[in-house]
Structure 1
Amino acid sequence: MWGEDSFITQYEYGQMLYNTPRGIGCVHCHGAHGEGAKIATYKEDGKRVELRGPDIRKVSIGTLKKSLVKRHRIMPTYFLTDSEIEALYYYLHTPQESE
């Protein structure tokens, strides 16, 4: 699927999916490259609480697939195909190309 005659590379496809998969992108909660990001700050019982998206750079492909198909309290369900999840995984686990 990702040969020399491809319109975009697997990295570029994964990056595109990461930034805008379907609706809100992974980038908003998991950071520019999966390192995790602040989602919101709020007060609970008088204490400041920070809600953060987890670092997903070192998760396995199996863990990523399981996480993307199950329902979460906060994270949307994206209904990605196996090849889309594999492209996301490739993007997260490949040294960054020139952007």
Structure 2
Amino acid sequence: MNKIRKGDQVVVIAGRDKGKRGTVALRVDDDHIVVEGVNVAKKHVKPNPLKGTTGGIVDKTMPIHQSNVAIYNPSTAKADRVGVKLLADGKKVRVYKSSGEEIKA
């Protein structure tokens, strides 16, 4: 079970963008995620007349390692760790470590 999923609000806790908050756009692989507005790099793009794209320098959101982000807890307005709790019916749910309340997906 991935502790950080697509659509989660996260806070960057390490690196150049420390303190920024954003939404997880996608999971690249088991360890890397793309967060909107975080780890933005300038990329040089060649023009492609067949696709109708113009060349130039564009901003591209690059992947970041999931260990450098923490899930955002709206009740405390801070970053929080994620735990896994087993319910009575056998389902696993993600919970905030600080309060134990379930994370709404």
Under TM normalisation by the shorter chain, which class is it?
under 0.3
More strand by proportion, 1 or 2?
2
Under a length normalisation based on structure 2, what TM-score does the superposition of the two structures give? 0.24
